Amino acid sequence: MNVLGIETSCDETAAAVVHRDANGAGEIRSSVVLSQIEEHSAFGGVVPEIAARAHVEALDRIIAAALHDAGLELAEVDAIAATAGPGLIGGLIVGLTSAKALAWAAGKPLFAINHLEGHALTARLTDQLAFPYLLLLVSGGHTQLVAVHGVGHYERLGTTIDDAAGEAFDKTAKLLGLGYPGGPRVEQRARSGNPERFTLPRPLAGRPGADFSFAGLKTAVRLAAEAASPLSKVDVDDLAAGFQKAAVDCLVDRTRNALAMSAGTRFTALVAAGGVAANKAVANALQAIADDHGLPLVLPPLELCGDNAAMIAWAAAERMSLMPSGADRAGDADHPALARWPLDSLKPPQAAA
């Protein structure tokens, strides 16, 4: 099957066509992502109203480009999928409404996809990974540890109780005057810094459970920056390195706890997804954990770490392939956009049919 996917949950306008064959193998036939970095860089973060307006202006041509690159007409796709949440509500409405209109006009089934499920299933698109596996979802809006037992069957082992790791990276970059997007810039400056110079906390590290907390770490970086002000280049490098090391230590501690909590589950791999998974320090630390537990580490290619529509199309293809014969495949036509939509609230396709 060929599925057209649309992603507009934050500040990327994206469309893609993904093919899933009868054996479950996936192929990305096209993937077009338009970033809004320039629109938001002056504000040091995403402005929801600007993001929604940019989606409205760009989405039609992005969809057209994805179909063109895939060599398909709209009538030739088997289904249309769009992110329905979680995310910024204005952007979600733009993408989901467009998908509903296209599905109605072309007579195609519509799949309203959870953005987090897209991340959760990306490893099956890229590596045909078998269930179950442990997922560390670490992005600008989400930091979670999830046991992925099957399509629609997600067990949340831990989540952030305040800020997401990606948000902490972005806010630290803004504090240090590094600009937006913050994650790659903090990583770049951290390479030249001394991570031991500043004493920074590791919130929740050493405690039971697999929940995360990054608000206190952000505050500690701010206080350290104020104490060292005015900041020299060396100060900024050292603060970036110290923050990154503390954040990675928190991710490592919580991931090890999640594996211990799931000792009875025979995971096939440790998987990382989301924009922060592109960070080399994070990847190296997760590789060490995977090695210690005799598991492969699966990291999506860089272009699939951040928000993209290929993962949305693939999640729909996975769901569609499992739906019983004769099931209503237009059942998502009335699905609303949801700013909040927990991953572990989803159900397998069979139960939804």
pLDDT tens digits, one per residue of 249-269: 999 999 999 999 999 999 999
Query: What is the CATH number assigned to the segment(s) 131-302?
Result: 3.30.420.40
Taken in order 169, 175, 178, 180, the sign of the CA dihedral is positive
Q: What's the Cα-to-Cα distance from 205 to each of 214, 251, 253, 310, rounded to whole Å?
A: 11, 9, 6, 35
Q: What is the mean pLDDT of residues 107-117?
A: 96
| Of 34-43, 80-89, 189-198, 244-253, the least confident | 34-43
Please check whether residue 304 is in contact with residue 129, taking contact to mean a CB–CB distance below 8 angstroms: no
What is residue 328's predicted lDDT score, i.e. its pLDDT? 54
Q: How confident is the model at residue 353 (pLDDT cuts 50, 70, 90)?
A: very low
What is residue 306's predicted lDDT score, i.e. its pLDDT? 87
177 pLDDT more than 50: yes
Domain boundaries, the chain: 2-121+305-352, 131-302
Query: What is the CATH number assigned to the segment(s) 2-121+305-352?
Result: 3.30.420.40
**What distance in Å separates the CA atoms of residue 166 and residue 181, rounded to the nearest whole number?**
10
Q: How confident is the model at residue 141 (pLDDT cuts 50, 70, 90)?
A: confident
**What distance in Å separates the CA atoms of residue 59 and residue 73, rounded to the nearest whole number?**
17
Q: What is the mean pLDDT of residues 112-129?
A: 96
- For Cα atoms 10, 16, 22, give the angle at the middle one, nearest 5 degrees: 130
238 pLDDT more than 60: yes
**Strand bridging mode 133-138 / 110-114:** unpaired
**Strand bridging mode 110-114 / 143-150:** unpaired
Q: What is the mean pLDDT of residues 313-317?
A: 98
**Strand bridging mode 133-138 / 143-150:** antiparallel
Q: How confident is the model at residue 273 (pLDDT cuts 50, 70, 90)?
A: very high
pLDDT, tens digit (0-9, with 9 covering 90-100), for 9-45? 988 899 999 999 999 999 999 999 998 767 766 676 6
pLDDT > 70 fraction of the chain, expressed in percent and rounded = 95
**What distance in Å separates the CA atoms of residue 170 and residue 2, rounded to the nearest whole number?**
36
Q: DSSP letter for 336, please.
A: P
- Do the domains at 2-121+305-352 and 131-302 have one common CATH topology? yes
The two structure tokens encoding residue 71: 């060599």
